[in-house]
């Protein structure tokens, strides 16, 4: 059985190794370490199968040009041999729930629209939001609580630690 739960202190090195194995470089692993070190990882969840961590998702703070505070989803990763079983979907849904509970009213993601639309994400340009990376329709937003979406708020910036990915 797969359970999704918040990361614990003892999970840190396993999360680092999982991210390093799922992406071409260790940039994402270093990013998550840096976000955690800067206390900018309000939601950090693992997927645990029988005590083994096989998936991970991070949500970190973002803010719009007009100062609205939300969260950004990513990175997300699932170990190769556990893919296409809905584990990333569980991480996204549970993560959105945890962000809502933590008081965030909107979330963004830079990712494949065909995938993230199933969770309610839609192009952020629909409501006058843009990203700093020229993501176009890949930059998506979802409302986490009614009326929580900022409108015409301009460029949404991720935490400064994301510069590690450039
Ligand atoms: C992306 C990733 C997290 C998906 O994990 P997963 O547990 O296999 O995802 P799920 O089982 O929830 O979803 C699988 C479904 O989503 C689709 N899907 C997953 N990622 C997708 C993507 N980037 N683009 C389009 N479709 C995608 C799959 O084709 C599959 O479709 P189906 O449900 O219609 O069969 C995993 O492939 C991974 O770790 N990849 C490497 C790291 C990465 O690229 N992360 C995303 C960027 S931060």
Q: What is the pLDDT of residues 111-124, one digit of tens each?
A: 999 999 999 999 99
| Residues 76, 122 contacting (CB under 8 angstroms) | no
Give the model confidence (pLDDT) of 1-49 as tens digits: 999 999 999 999 999 999 999 999 999 999 999 999 999 999 999 999 9
**By alpha-carbon position, which residue is closest to atom 33 of ligand 1?**
84
- DSSP state, residue 41: -
User: Which ligand 1 atom lies nearest to the CA of residue 83?
Assistant: 8
Distance 65 CA to ligand 1 centre (A): 30
Element (H, E) at 106: strand 106-110
- Measure the CA–CA gap between 86 and 82, rounded to whole angstroms: 9
Determine the pLDDT at residue 41. Answer: 98
**By alpha-carbon position, which residue is closest to atom 40 of ligand 1?**
77
* 74 ligand 1 Cβ < 6 A: yes
Q: What is the pTM of this model?
A: 0.95
- Measure the CA–CA gap between 72 and 62, rounded to whole angstroms: 6
Determine the pLDDT at residue 166. Answer: 80
**By alpha-carbon position, which residue is closest to atom 31 of ligand 1?**
84
Q: Was domain 2-165 assigned CATH 3.40.630.30?
A: yes
Distance 95 CA to ligand 1 centre (A): 16
């Amino acid at each position: 059985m797969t359970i999704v739960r918040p990361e614990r202190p003892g999970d840190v090195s396993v999360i680092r190794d999982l991210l390093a194995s799922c992406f071409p470089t260790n940039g994402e692993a270093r990013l998550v370490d840096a976000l955690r070190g800067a206390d900018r990882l309000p939601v950090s969840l693992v997927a645990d199968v029988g005590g083994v961590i096989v998936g991970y998702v991070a949500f970190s703070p973002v803010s719009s040009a007009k100062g609205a505070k939300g969260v950004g989803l990513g990175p997300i990763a699932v170990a190769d041999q556990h893919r296409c079983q809905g584990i990333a979907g569980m991480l996204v849904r549970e993560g959105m729930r945890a962000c809502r509970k933590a008081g965030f009213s909107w979330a963004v993601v830079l990712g494949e629209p065909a995938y993230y639309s199933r969770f309610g994400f839609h192009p952020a340009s629909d409501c006058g939001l843009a990203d700093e990376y020229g993501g176009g329709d890949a930059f998506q937003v979802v409302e986490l609580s009614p009326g929580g979406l900022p409108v015409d708020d301009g460029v949404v910036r991720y935490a400064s630690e994301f510069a590690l990915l450039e």
